[in-house]
Amino acid sequence: REYSIEGDFSNASFFFAAAAITHGRVKVNNLNPDSSQGDKKFVDFLEQMGCEVNKRDDFIEVIGKPLKGIKLDMSDYPDIVVPLAVVAAFADGKSEFYNISHLKYKESNRLYASVNELKKMGINAECTKDSLIVEGGKAHGAEIDTYKDHRMVMSFAMAGLKVKGVKINNPENVNKSFPNFFKVLETLYD
């Protein structure tokens, strides 16, 4: 038998975040807009924040536009909370992601880790037992700790596309899910 395997929306989210943060344009091939993957909602959330999203049968494109804050129940989308929180750092206004207490039990405590690293970049952020609140602002460079968490590496690498002076500690943590992440990231410069 021959099987066609669709692309991974979780990993694609980082590149869509890059478009949102930089007001650029990113097109990812081999994504099925009708996929059963929950993380396909990432592009819908970016659209609600102000991005332009184009969906076709075999690709999705995000075009960054001015961003506004958003309030979302993320209980079904834990893997895209951190990249969305980083995008929210560059939005106008406050964003709140709630029903996410389970993020404390991922590869890292992603609630604490996200708040801590966003604050290092000069962004007002806080967490409660089940929510993450990010107030968009003027981010600056910082040395980002990644807590042995691949999603922390990839999310904050996107911030480094917009803000000079972002240094990612332990970038090799991407090996868990996306070993060639930085090689693919370099293709965004074309």
DSSP for residue 94: E
Please identify every residue annotated as catalytic. 79
Segment holding 19, helix H or strand E: helix 9-22
> Are 51 and 63 in contact, with CB atoms under 8 Å apart?
yes
Residue 98 tokens, joined: 């709630």
